[in-house]
């Protein structure tokens, strides 16, 4: 295996000579001199490696669906006055989650090192990380009460993070007070109620969402709190994407279905562990944090037994700063059906997928090409040596990072699932509706990360679009060596231009994260409807976000005061 020093050297050459990732412009050598910080001010070489582990030793943890509770057991009962449109969308399903600190078995080889007991320190939902999956359906509003049962700061065993939490349901079309605004945090002993109307944006079924996730969004502590374990997945179904591959509805897509069996959610977190098998985190590295082991559903490089048939995998990048290019070791075909959790119009055939933090791809893998007893590995081939972003170099041979292994077992029954030619029509974009254009510049100023050259100020409203209007927003990465996955809450967007060109392939979709390489810009279309309130725009490299790369924007009533 190449030494890290050699990898760094090779990566530096690649940055200077190859185009930026994600379709960006080439980086001229002269631009390297414009970095805000001198090379070597900190070094990833100072990060100790994790203890050795056996890859493909742990079975994949399949997260169960949330279990309903009787609303009569909620004390005090839900307060309709705390939620927009609660009476119009009265909850039909109720859930309770408790966030606690405990021990989680990331890997047997790490767990046995811990003098505290078997497992690694973690913050969890109802005793597990990732937490249970919110499996919801359009037309069935949801209510979730989340208790913060974490220890007080002085009693917490995890040496990073802050035990104050606010939970964001990423990409949900939901009211501000249930969105997880970073300032809406609760401390140990407190709770917060979330109401999700489960309505299509603008009552348009073409706006349906499919693969979402929820995670902590504590102001200035998102990266550490998520790294400690506070994240999980959400799956939304409707009549078209019903999760039933035997659905008799003639309009149903019949994608590989049955949640947790042939419809499997996997969330990636790269983690570095200390000598006692506990997650370790460098709070002084404001460029970003990289782990040296890839966990899938918080298991280090696990395995999954699969039948020789089609599976739908909802793949999430949940880590704070790592980007991935994922592919099967034999470079065989996969079909991308969703980008950032939104169904494409048509499946796209690929041999690898690129994910930045918070990006999601749903892919269908057909294992019928393999024989029982065979196995195939999923690998990361994207090189990244610091938190700023990928080097642009692909990993080869033994340098490729193990992610997980699929082991082929006998078929249990017929595969009635399909890969349809057409899935869901993209919502119509009418540029005549546009009432304003805005630009958001992501940069590094005065030692911190900025948007439009300003630090995060939760009291300042940087934009205030009116409800019922449409706007064009441009995201621009002013950096020359770092990448920024730009995320806007509440609404996904459609890309009009990416570096001046119309989107094609997987990029021709609805998205909620625009992963910008150095010099990239994306011009996108937004609408603002159904709810009012405050929402953030931020870099989803959570370390950048926690170091001021976030801004507030509000949806105001049509007829409200001008914002600028």
Cα separation of 251 and 422, whole Å? 11
Cα separation of 9 and 51, whole Å? 25
Q: For residue 59, count other CB atoms closer than 10 A to its CB.
A: 12
pLDDT band at 45 (very low <50, low <70, confident <90, very high): low
Contact 255, 417 (CB under 8 A): yes
Tokens of 462: 């940087």
pLDDT exceeds cutoff 60 at 167: yes
E strands in 178-276: 191-196, 211-216, 231-237, 263-273
Nearest Cα neighbor of 197 from 250, 151, 142, 243 is 142
Nearest Cα neighbor of 125 from 110, 146, 143, 103 is 146
The average confidence (pLDDT) of the chain is: 91
What does the pLDDT read at residue 450? 97
Q: Which domains does the chain have, with CATH numbers?
A: 431-555 (2.60.40.420)
Residue with tokens 């309505």: 199
- 430-465, pLDDT tens digit by residue? 999 999 999 999 999 988 899 999 999 999 999 999
pLDDT band at 560 (very low <50, low <70, confident <90, very high): low
Task: Report, in angstroms and rounded to the nearest whole number, the Rg of the chain calculated over CA atoms.
Answer: 22
What does the pLDDT read at residue 562? 52
Backbone angles phi, psi at 320, to 5 degrees: -70, -35
Taking the CA atoms of residue 440, residue 443, residue 446 and residue 448 in that order, the dihedral angle to the nearest 10 degrees is 90
pLDDT exceeds cutoff 60 at 21: no
Cα separation of 551 and 542, whole Å? 14
The CA distances from residue 317 to 114, 212, 362, in Å, are: 27, 11, 12
Nearest Cα neighbor of 422 from 206, 171, 199 is 206
Q: Is 188 helix (H, G, I), strand (E, B) or coil?
A: coil
The 3 state secondary structure assigned to 313-336 is EEEEECCCCCCEEEEECCCCCEEE
Give the burial string for 442-458 (b: 16+ CB within 10 Å, else e): bbbeeeebbbeeebbee
pLDDT exceeds cutoff 90 at 363: yes
pLDDT exceeds cutoff 50 at 35: no
Q: For residue 311, count other CB atoms closer than 10 A to its CB.
A: 20
* CA angle in degrees (0–180, nearest 5) for 159-319-403: 115
- 298-339, pLDDT tens digit by residue? 999 999 999 999 999 999 999 999 999 999 999 999 999 999
In the chain, the percentage of residues whose pLDDT exceeds 70 is 91
Parallel/antiparallel/unpaired status of strands 550-555 and 533-539: antiparallel
Cα separation of 15 and 29, whole Å? 9
Q: For residue 40, count other CB atoms closer than 10 A to its CB.
A: 7
Backbone angles phi, psi at 112, to 5 degrees: -70, -15
What does the pLDDT read at residue 360? 97
DSSP state of 48: P
DSSP state of 59: B
What does the pLDDT read at residue 446? 85
Q: For residue 430, count other CB atoms closer than 10 A to its CB.
A: 10
Contact 409, 367 (CB under 8 A): no
pLDDT band at 44 (very low <50, low <70, confident <90, very high): low
- 56-104, pLDDT tens digit by residue? 999 999 999 999 999 999 999 999 999 999 999 999 999 999 999 999 9
Sort residue 474 into left (φ over 0), alpha (ψ -120 to 50) or beta: beta
Sort residue 56 into left (φ over 0), alpha (ψ -120 to 50) or beta: left
What pTM does this model have?
Answer: 0.91
Tokens of 149: 């049962």
SS3 content of the chain, % helix, strand, coil (to 5): 10, 35, 50
Contact 195, 83 (CB under 8 A): yes
Contact 241, 141 (CB under 8 A): no
Tokens of 94: 């109720």
Q: For residue 26, count other CB atoms closer than 10 A to its CB.
A: 14
pLDDT band at 122 (very low <50, low <70, confident <90, very high): very high
What does the pLDDT read at residue 559? 76
What does the pLDDT read at residue 481? 86
Q: Is the peptide bond before 130 cis (omega within 30 degrees of 0)?
A: yes
């Amino acid at each position: 295996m190449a030494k890290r020093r050699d990898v760094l050297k090779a990566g530096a050459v690649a940055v200077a000579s190859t185009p930026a990732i994600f379709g960006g412009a080439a980086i001229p050598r002269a631009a390297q001199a414009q970095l805000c910080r001198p090379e070597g001010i900190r070094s990833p070489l100072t990060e100790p490696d994790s203890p050795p582990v056996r890859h493909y030793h742990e079975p994949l943890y399949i997260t169960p669906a949330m279990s309903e509770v009787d609303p009569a057991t909620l004390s005090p009962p839900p307060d309709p006055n705390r939620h927009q449109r609660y009476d119009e969308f009265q909850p039909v399903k109720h859930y309770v989650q408790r966030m606690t600190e405990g021990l989680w078995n990331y890997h047997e080889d790490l767990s046995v090192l811990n003098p505290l007991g078997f497992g690694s320190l973690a913050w969890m939902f109802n005793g597990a990380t990732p937490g249970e999956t919110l499996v919801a359906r359009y037309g069935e509003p949801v209510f979730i009460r989340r208790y913060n049962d974490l220890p007080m700061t002085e009693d917490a065993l995890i040496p990073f993070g802050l035990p104050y939490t606010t939970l964001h349901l990423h990409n949900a079309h939901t009211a501000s007070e249930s969105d997880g605004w970073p300032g809406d945090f609760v401390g140990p002993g407190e709770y917060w109620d979330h109401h999700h109307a489960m309505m299509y944006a603008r009552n348009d079924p073409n706006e349906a969402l499919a693969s979402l996730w929820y995670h902590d969004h504590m102001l200035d502590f998102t990266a550490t709190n998520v790294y400690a374990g506070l994240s999980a997945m959400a799956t939304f179904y409707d009549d078209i994407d019903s999760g039933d591959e035997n659905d008799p509805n003639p309009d149903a897509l019949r994608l590989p279905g049955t949640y947790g069996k042939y419809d499997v959610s996997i969330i990636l977190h790269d983690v570095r562990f200390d000598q006692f098998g506990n997650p370790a985190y460098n709070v002084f590295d404001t460029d970003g944090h990289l782990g040296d082991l890839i966990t899938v559903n918080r298991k280090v490089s696990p395995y999954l037994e699969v039948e020789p048939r089609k599976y739908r995998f909802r793949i999430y990048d949940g880590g704070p700063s790592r980007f991935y290019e994922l592919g099967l070791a034999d470079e065989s075909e996969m079909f991308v059906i969703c980008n950032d959790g939104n169904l494409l119009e048509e499946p796209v055939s690929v041999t690898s997928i690129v994910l930045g933090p918070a990006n999601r791809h749903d892919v269908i893998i057909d294992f019928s090409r393999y024989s029982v007893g065979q196995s195939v590995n999923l690998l990361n081939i994207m090189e990244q040596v610091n938190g700023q972003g990928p080097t642009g170099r692909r990993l080869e041979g033994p340098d490729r990072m193990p992610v997980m292994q699929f082991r082929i077992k006998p078929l249990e029954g017929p595969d009635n699932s399909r890969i349809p030619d057409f899935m869901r029509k993209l919502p119509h974009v009418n540029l005549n509706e546009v009432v304003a254009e805005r630009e958001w510049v992501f940069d590094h100023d005065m030692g911190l990360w900025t948007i439009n050259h300003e630090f995060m100020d939760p009291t300042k409203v940087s934009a205030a679009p009116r409800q019922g209007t449409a706007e064009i927003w441009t995201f621009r990465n002013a950096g020359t060596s770092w990448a920024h996955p730009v995320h806007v809450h509440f609404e996904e967007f459609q890309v009009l231009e990416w570096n001046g060109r119309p989107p094609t392939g997987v990029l021709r979709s609805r998205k909620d994260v625009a992963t910008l390489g150095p010099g990239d810009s994306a011009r996108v279309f937004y609408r603002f409807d159904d709810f009012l309130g405050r929402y953030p725009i931020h870099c989803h490299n959570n370390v950048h976000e926690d170091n001021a790369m976030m801004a507030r924007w509000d949806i105001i009533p049509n007829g409200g005061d001008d914002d600028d």
